[in-house]
Every structure is written in structure tokens, then in C-alpha cells.
Structure 1
Amino acid sequence: MRENNIKMISIDDVPLNGFHQLMTVRSGGGWVLDGYILSIIGVALGYITLELQLNSFWEGMVAASALIGIFIGGFLGGWLSGVLGRRRLYFVGPVIFILCSVGQFWANSGLEVFIYRLLIGVGVGFEYPVAGALLVEFLPKKYRGSRLAALTILWFAGAALAYIVGNLILSSGNLSAWRYVLLSPALIGLFLLVVRLGTPESPRWLMSKGKDEDAERVIKKVYGASFSLKNIPAQNSEEKLSLSAILKSGYGARMLFVSLFWTCSVIPVFAVYAFAPKVLDSLNITGDWAAYGSVAITVLFVVGCIVATKLIDIMGRRLMVIHSFLWSGIALLLLGYFSDAGGLLILILFGSYALFIGGAQVLQLVYPNEIFPTEIRSFAVGIGASLSRVGAAIGTWFVPISLQSIGIGQTMYIAAGITFIGLISSILLAPETKSMSLEKAASLQR
């Protein structure tokens, strides 16, 4: 009788076990490293420019190289993980990070640094669809939303660690210390590579390829000898789509939503995060106010993500993304209107934006991993990651030009407009997946 009861328990409903904790570390470590390795260039770029005598063209190319790489890696990793599986590609990112970090140490030209950073971006692009899909396909539904949302917090933690470690290394005063700064991610990459050894393939992916015996072996190893394929919720066979058919199906609307909301949530964030001191200076906030304000805004980005992670299973996904875009958009609108106001009001509005956008930030990994079936899940995440980074690159490039040509007030209005596009797309297209099994969340028939 007890065995029959176990057979009826879905793996989406099992308690969190040690394997789930280990998988969270394995995938979460990738986001720490992503935040670290993408942010470390900001610490070292000035020193690289001095020693390698980079002109403005190569300085800009080095700064943008990783974002270009993410665009390539997101598409490539998303497609390959659907064809070859999650586990094989789980090691691609760490290997690229280690080899290219070592390569950067010996770089002697802007072109060499650009190539290594481009390849690093490809590795980061692989991480989004591969690590996210592998984690979500093992997690119980009760913990899926909060665990995926927490990955965004880990990214910011990695970014903060990069600034701390990078500045400590540069404090030596050696002009070539930047080489050790860019080498430092290799140590984290090596740790991540070792931790990921022994990771099994996703049983859901194995079943989608007709490898039922392999899937059953994984299930028994992870969940116990009494579990089998019967404990995986059945996927509607009509939803087993080829990648070429995705836009012709009902999933085309979901792909549009993921692309729009992800892109609209990162363009203003990357612009504000990268140019906070410059933006604050344009808002007449200088001196200690600017220094403390930049730190406070960065902290509030993290706080916003933490709060959203705590609320995601209470509010639900749809309500959270709508409120996040609404209130953060209003904050940006007010920043444009009160661009000539005093420092305290500006910092309050800036901080409000950083806090409220946390909901949309954490959903960047939750939504695309939940609302697509196994066959196209990693591909959808890859597209979202790729297109959002195009938006991030455009936003980062546009801010200094916009500040100079049309001023801070109009720049904030544009950022608000982008945020409200995200709001409209969420109102029209955002589904609710709270408390659903992965199969039900991904189903078009509810």
C-alpha cells in the first residue's frame, strides 16, 4: 500500500532533498560567476586602456564584447541544449571562463582582450538556458519560483564581489595588476567545474527524446528506488513541438511576452546601473550625495530582488510583474518631471525605481523556464537572454549620448516609456503559473 501511494506522488510535490540543494549550488554558482565575470571588466578597463594604449574604438569594443557574446551564446546554447541535452553543456561555461580568464592574463592588444571577452560572453549565454533548464526540471513546484528568483540575487552578489576583489588587487598600485583582476574568475570557474561533476541529465529531457530507461535510472537515483516514470506528470503529446514550429503555435505569444518583458526590464536597469554616477551628476547630485547615492541604489537593486523572491509565491507571477513595471515606471516618470528638484527627492525616486523593478528582474529566469515545455524550454530562455542583452547594449550605449543631446529629463521619460511597454505587454500576455506543476504551467490547455 505504501509503495502504491509513493507511485502516485509527482516529483513536483516531493520535499526538498539534499540533491535539490546541491543542484541549487551547482546552478546558482554559475550566476555568481556570471555577475563576477561580466562586472570585473568595469574594474579593470581603465588600467587596460592605459597599458595597452587603447583608442576609444577598442575601449568601447572591449566594454561591449561580452554582451555581443551573450547574444551568440544564448541562441546557440538554447538550441544545443535542446538537441544534445542539458548535462553535456553544463560544463561549457565554466571551461570557457577558466581558459579565457587565463588567456586574458597574457593579452597584449585590444583585439586579444576583445576576443577573450567575446568568448566569455558566449559562455555566459550558455549558462542562462542550460543551467536554468536543468535546475527547474528537478525542483519541486513549491520551491521552484523562489529558487529561480534567487539566482538574480546571486548575480548581483557576484557583481559586488567583483568590485571588492578587483579593487583589492588593483590597490597594489602595479599598472599590470589588471591582468590578475581578469585572471581571478578562473578560480571561481575551477570551483564551479568541480562542483558540477556528477550532475545527472534531466529525466524530462531524456523522456522527450524517448530515452525512458535512462530517465528512470536518474529518477531512482535522485528520488529513491520506489520512484519511476509514473511519478513524472504526463506531458500533452500535442505540445511536443519542433523549434521550427514554435512561432506557428500558441507558444509564439509566450515567446513574444518573454522577449518584451525581459528586454524592457533590463534596458533601464543596465543603463542606470552602469551610469549611476553620471546620471546622478546630471540630476545635480554631486560630492558625498553622489557617492553614497550610487552605493544606496546598488543596494536597493539587491533588496528589491530579495523582497520579490520572498513574495513571488504569495503574489503570484502575473501580479508581481504588472506591479513591478507599474511602480518602477512611475518612479522613472517622476524622475523626468522632477529632474531639477533637490537631491533627497531624486535619491528617493531613484531608490524607488531600484526597489520596485526587482519583481521584473527575478521573473526573468522564472517565466521562461516555467511557461514552455521541455522540448523548447532552453531555446526560449536562450532567445530571451540574447534579445535582452541586445537591449542592454543599446541602453548602455544610448545613455551618455542621450544625456548630452536631449538632457536628463527626456532620458528619464524614455526609460519610463520602455518600462511602460513592459507593463502593457505583461497586462496583455503574462500568464499565471503559481503553484502549478511544470507540465501544467507549460501547457496551453489549462
Structure 2
Amino acid sequence: MNTDATRPSTLSGRLDRLPFTRRHRRLLTGSGIGWALDAMDVGLISFILAALAQQWDISKTESGWIASVGFIGMALGASLGGLLADRFGRRQVFAITLLVYGLATGASALAGGVAILLVLRFLVGLGLGAELPVASTYVSEFAPARIRGRLIVILEAFWAVGWTAAALIGFFVIPASADGWRWAFVLGAIPAAYALFVRWGLPESPRWLASRGRADEAERIVAAFESDAGIAAAPTSSVAAPAAVIAASAGARLRSLWSAEFRLRTLSIWLVWFCVNFAYYGAFIWIPSILVDAGYDLVRSFGFTLVITLAQLPGYAVAAWLIEVWGRPLTLSVFLVGSAVSAVLFGTASGDAAIIGSGMALSFFNLGAWGALYAVTPEIYPTSLRGTGSGWAAGVGRIASIIAPLLVPVLLGVGGAPLLFVVFAAFFVTGAVAAWGLVDRRGQPLDDR
């Protein structure tokens, strides 16, 4: 084991100095699997809605509410999850949210009508909404500064894995029988079991522990990462509490988001989250149903959606590289502009090749933008506000994801797919402009106040 006398003595400096170790990989993979399971659940509902529209003869308005009620839960869950993560820890809240939405998803398989499905989808959303911003905050607090953005985009890339799993279930399981959609919900219950691994298999954030005065626990975790890297452990005294905690109570933390220091970045991040959520969920929740309405049968519609979904992974890969080359605002804005152009092309596409090509471009750019957004969000706030700031940004975004599925039938009725996707493009462009109000902490240490 090597001893590095010049190694930084602060907890933040020690974490940022580390190479990417086996423990980083385990933490990233463990969190990423939870992220993928989230995506699988969100993706499944788009396929299930298309099946239920035929089996239960539900209207587009009812379909819109089934989609939107989950996002109502997500808005509430994201807002509460961030507050709870700053109070009780990242890992604890991460595990509880996986348990909540996993159990509610499994129970959805037993739903006999729209009313009970609405209740269960709200509970699913509650867990999902809290989990996503907490997971990105959690990983960002372990990641070395020089590759932090890249690791968060890789974490977000697990979303494509989960959405692809949903597309495969939609293609092979849901059309297989009248109860195919129920079996899809059963598969979506896997996160309930995975929550046990998160609770006991992953460490708590040492930055959060230090901010709560639990220096000994933080030291043991950092020392374990250093040991993996072949670095001799630093003295326990090197783990110091932050110089000043921004705010202790939930109310004070919320007010701090709008202090002079954070006002512009809070406004900007809320606007980007709102715009991206509106366009993404408005489009991708409805794409299978829009294709069915265009004359494609259920299996072919799901097949097209599966191919479109596969373009998400290269989108994440390119964003993961560019975010450490171009920085956060430029990468985010470029991918949002690409999303806007792709949306217009998809809304006006005719013929199989044009639909698949423009849909793949929309997947590529939109999911690359999501990766950049999740990377920048936890970085713009200090440790004492990080969970709250990330959670409330996501919560505001979920308001848009509530509204969008309800407006889609209205916009389709007024101007069809061309008008719908032009509206989505306008939201993407607005988000691209708002991205320039964010700070770029590429390669810089996190603020541990």
C-alpha cells in the first residue's frame, strides 16, 4: 500500500483525488440497477396503456389520467424525497423509495378497474419521484471531481437499459395473452426485493455523514475507498465538519434555494426540468398509442418503439464524453436543440423509415440531454442543500409530466401529431436557453457547506 504525504487532508479532497475503484464501480452499478428498474416501470405504463385501451375500452382522457396520476405522485415524492435525504441520509431514502414503488407496481397486477389502478399508480409515482434525484445526489457525492459528470451520465444511461427492458416486455409479454399487462406489472415489482440490497449493500454518503457530525463513520467509508486504491488511510482528524451549514430545518433549506446566491440557478434548473419533462413524457408515454392510431397494429407499434428506444444508449454515451469536454450548459443546450429538431421531424414523418429514423434521433438527443441534466443538478448546490435542491427541481419538472399526458389528446384533436411535436420542440428550445443560467462545476470539487 502506498502512502501519499501530499494527499489532501480534507474529506472532499480525498474523495476527489481517488481513482475510479472497484467500490466506485459497485456503487455506480448498484445505484444504476435501481435507476434501470425505475425506467422499466415508467416505460411499461406506455405499453400497458395501449393494451388497456383495447381490453378495457378506456378513453384517451382516462389513459391520460392513468399516466398523469403517477406523475402527481412523482412530483410529491421528488419534493419530499430530497428533503428527507438531507435529513435522514441518501441511502436510507433510496432504499425506502424502491420498496414503496416496487410493492405498488406488483399490486397493480391485481387491478380490476381504472379507479384502483389510479390509486396504485399514484403510490408508484410517490416512490419513483423520490428515488431519482436522491440516487443522482448519492452517486455525485462519491464521484471524483474530474469524472463526476461522466459518472452521473453513465448512471442516467441505466434508464435506457430499463426502458429497453420495458420495450422488450411490451413486445413479447403484453401481447402474448389477455393477462400480459398483469404479468408486466408483476415483473415491475422486482425493486421491492432490490431495496434490501441497497439498504445493506451500499454505504451512506460520507459527505452527508460529515455534514451531520458523524465524522467517524465518514472516515471509515473514505478509508475503505482509499484502501481499494492502494492509498494509506489518513488520520481520523482529517475528516472535518463543513465550515458552515446553509440551513438545518426543511423550511430554511427551501428558503435558501431562493437566496441571492442560488436564485438564478434555482430558477434556471426548475425551468429546464419543467420543459424537458413536458416534452419527454408527453412524447414517449404516447408514442405507442400514436402509432396504433396511425394504423399500426399493437405488435408492430411496440416493435417500432423498441427500435426507437435502442437509440437512447448511444445518446448517453456521447453525452457522457462531451460533458467533460464541453462542460454542462453547452452539452445540455446542444442536446436539447437536437431534441427540438428531431421532434419536428418525427411529428411530420410519414412512412416506416422516416418514423423510425426521426424517432431514433429524438431518443438519442433527448436522453443525452437527460444525462447532462442529472449531472448538473446536484452540482449547483452545497451538501446541506443538495438533496433538497435536486428533489425540488425534479418535483417542479413532474408538474409538467402531469400536464403533458393530459394535453396530448387535446393537441392531437386540434392539429394532430405535427402540432403536438412542434409544441414539444418549443419546450425543448426554451429549456436550451434556460440551461445557460446554470453554473458549470466541471472538474471542480463539490461545495461541502
TM-score normalised by L of structure 2: 0.84
Q: 1:72 aligns with which of 76, 92, 97?
A: 76
1:56-113, Cα deviation, whole Å (9 max, x unpaired):
6654432322211101100111111111121221211221133223322333333222
Displacement of 1:304 after TM fit?
1.8
The yes-or-no answer on 1:227 pairing with 2:234 is yes
Q: 1:126 offset after TM fit, Å?
A: 1.6
Three-state SS of the structure 1 residue aligned to 2:441 is: coil
Aligned counterparts of 2:413 and 2:18: Cα–Cα separation in 1: 56
Specify the alignment match of 2:125 in structure 1.
121
Name the counterpart of 1:201: 204
Task: Name the structure 1 match of 2:424.
Answer: 415
CA contact 1:90–1:127 (8 Å) conserved in 2 = yes
Structure-1 separation of matches of 2:266 and 2:388: 10
List aligned pairs for 1:335-374, cutoff 5 A. Answer: 339=348, 351-374=360-383
Change in CA separation of 1:409 and 1:315 when aligned onto 2, cut-off 3 Å: same
SS in 1 for 2:442: coil
Per the alignment, in what secondary structure is the counterpart of residue 314 of structure 1? coil
Change (3 A) 1:5 1:358: same
1:266 aligns with 2:277: yes
The aligned counterpart of 2:113 is 109
> Following the alignment from structure 1 to structure 2, what is the Cα–Cα distance between the partners of residues 92 and 133?
16
- Alpha-carbon distance change, 96 to 395 in structure 1, aligned in 2, over 3 angstroms: same
Deviates more, 1:255-264 or 1:399-408: 399-408
Q: Does 1:401 align with 2:402?
A: no
Alpha-carbon spacing, 1:209–1:106, altered in 2? closer, same or farther (3 Å): same
Distance in 1 separating the partners of 2:420 and 2:64: 21
Q: Structure 2 residue aligned with 1:93, among 90, 97, 104?
A: 97
TM-score when scaled to structure 1? 0.85
Superposition deviation, residue 324 in structure 1: 2.0
The secondary structure found in structure 2 opposite 1:319 is helix
How far the C-alpha of 1:21 sits from its partner, in A, is 1.1
Q: Per the alignment, do residues 411 and 289 of structure 1 end up closer, same or farther by CA in structure 2, a change over 3 Å counting?
A: same
Q: 1:165 — aligned with what?
A: 169
* Structure 1 residues 356 and 88: CA distance shift in structure 2, 3 A: closer
Contact kept, 8 Å, 1:92 with 1:126, in 2: the verdict is no
Q: Distance in 2 between matches of 1:310 and 1:61?
A: 38
Q: Which residue of 2 aligns with 1:213?
A: 216
| Cα pair 1:58 1:111 within 8 Å, conserved | no
Q: 2:330 aligns with which of 319, 322, 328?
A: 319
CA contact (8 A) 1:220 1:228 kept: no
Give yes or no for contact 1:322–1:426 (8 Å, CA) kept in 2: yes
Kept in 1: contact 2:332–2:373 (CA 8 A)? no
- Residues 271 and 229 from structure 1, CA distance in 2 versus in 1: closer, same or farther, beyond 3 angstroms? farther
Give ranges in structure 2 of 5+ residues lacking alignment.
none
Give the superposition deviation at 1:416.
2.5
CA offset at residue 285 of structure 1?
9.7
Partner of 1:4 in structure 2?
5
Q: Larger deviation: 307-316 or 39-48?
A: 39-48
More deviation, 10-19/27-36:
10-19
Q: Secondary structure at the match of 1:265?
A: helix
Q: Which moved more, 1:217-226 or 1:365-374?
A: 217-226
8 Å CA contact 1:7–1:226 kept in 2: the answer is no
Kindly report which structure 2 residues correspond to 1:239-250, keeping only aligned pairs within 5 A, or say none.
Answer: 242-243=252-253, 244-250=255-261
CA RMSD of aligned residues (A): 3.4
How far apart in 2 are the matches of 1:36 and 1:50?
Answer: 22
Q: Provide the rounded CA distance (Å) in 1 between the counterparts of 2:339 and 2:240.
A: 38
Cα 1:203–1:426 change in 2 (3 A) is: same
Aligned partner letter, 2:153? A
Match of 2:32 in 1: 28
Distance apart, 1:232 and its partner CA: 6.3
Is the 1:240–1:373 Cα contact (8 Å) retained in structure 2? no
Hey, what does 2:187 align to over in structure 1?
184
- On the 8 A contact 1:206/1:212 being kept in 2, the answer is yes
Task: Report the alpha carbon displacement of residue 315 of structure 1 after superposing the two structures with TM.
Answer: 1.8
Distance of aligned partners of 1:177 and 1:92 in 2 relative to their CA distance in 1, 3 Å threshold: same
What is the aligned partner in structure 1 of residue 396 from structure 2? 387
Contact 1:289 1:343 in 2 (8 A): no
Residue aligning to 1:132: 136
1:237 matched to 2:241: no
Of 44, 47, 62, 1:43 maps to 47
Aligned with residue 318 of structure 2, among 301, 307, 317: 307
User: Which residue of 1 is the match for residue 444 of structure 2?
Assistant: 436
Question: Does the aligned pair in 2 maintain the 1:219–1:227 contact within 8 Å?
Answer: no
**How many correspondences in the alignment?**
436
Q: Distance in 2 between matches of 1:106 and 1:319?
A: 46
CA contact (8 A) 2:44 2:167 kept: yes
Amino acid of the structure 2 residue aligned with 1:436: Q
Contact 1:308 1:362 in 2 (8 A): yes
- Residue 5 of structure 1 aligns with an amino acid whose one-letter code is T
Give the secondary structure class of the aligned counterpart of 2:443: coil
Kindly tell me: are residues 2 and 177 of structure 1, through their superposed partners in 2, closer, same or farther at Cα, counting changes over 3 Å?
closer
Deviation at 1:153, TM superposition (A): 1.9
Rounded to whole Å, the distance in 2 between the matches of 1:410 and 1:350 is 16
Identity %: 24
Q: Which digits, 9 at most, give the CA deviation of each residue in 1:177-215, with x for residues without a partner? A: 433221112234413532541432222112222222332
Find the aligned partners of 1:32 and 1:314 in 2 and give their Cα distance: 26
Q: How far did residue 216 of structure 1 move?
A: 2.3
How big is each residue's C-alpha offset from its partner over 1:313-345, in whole Å with a ceiling of 9 and x where there is no partner?
A: 122112212222334334445677xx4888766
Secondary structure (helix, strand or coil) at the match of 2:381 reads: coil
Task: Give a deviation string over 1:329-363, Cα, whole Å, max 9, x none.
Answer: 34445677xx4888766765554444333442212
Seen in structure 2, the aligned counterparts of structure 1 residues 116 and 245 have a Cα distance that, compared at 3 Å, is same
Counterpart AA for 2:215 = D
Separation of aligned partners in 2, 1:372 and 1:268: 26
Q: Closer, same or farther in 2 for the Cα pair 1:198/1:341, shift >3 Å?
A: closer
Instruction: Confirm or deny: 8 A CA contact 1:29 1:192 kept in the other structure.
Output: no
Distance change (3 Å), C-alpha of 1:385 and 1:2:
same
**1:33–1:189 Cα contact (<8 Å) kept:** no
Specify every segment of 5 or more residues in structure 1 that has no aligned partner in the other structure, as ranges.
none
SS at match of 2:84: helix
Q: Distance in 1 between matches of 2:57 and 2:355?
A: 38
